[in-house]
Amino acid sequence: MNIKLNLIRPLFNFGVLVFLLLTSLKLTGQEKKPVDLKDFKIIIENTEKGIKMQSLQGTAWLNLEFSILNNQPQAIDEYGMTKLTDLSAVKDAKRADFLFTISKIKNTIILKGIEGTAWTDLRFSLSENGKQEINQFGMLP
């Protein structure tokens, strides 16, 4: 009887040790790398002709205005309008390094964060001439 009790305690301790080791191991193949987000601020305006954007911080451009054709998304980066196939390899420490697409369906603005944003998908309604400020973390009040 005494031998049985003496074996239970070490087995219990071993089990706890194995459990702690297994729960504290990092799976490096599934580990998400932290994103180095740089500050940018943009005001998006819904216009009759399309979309108007004003940059307040983190970009090389000040104003962009364009029409959305056939609901095709328009890619935007720190240098302005771009194509997803023509990404700039030039990195400027004074600029935010971001890339997202913007599209519009009626009064709904759809943003897809591709690079340099904490968000992957933002959707919001804007009435005509309505404005919404965004940054690297999402929508601002």
Higher-confidence residue of 75 and 29: namely: 75
Per-residue pLDDT tens digits for 42-74: 999 999 889 999 999 999 999 999 998 777 899
pLDDT at residue 56, rounded to an integer: 97
In order, the DSSP letters of 12-70 are HHHHHHHHHHHHH---TTTPPPPP-----EEEEEE-SSSEEEEEEES-S-SEEEEPPPT
Dihedral in degrees, nearest 10, Cα atoms 114, 91, 133, 66: -80
| Rounded Cα–Cα distance for residues 139 and 118 (Å) | 11
| Rounded Cα–Cα distance for residues 73 and 103 (Å) | 4
- What average pLDDT does the segment 97-101 reach? 93
- What average pLDDT does the segment 99-115 reach? 93
pTM for the predicted model, two decimal places: 0.70
pLDDT at residue 33, rounded to an integer: 45
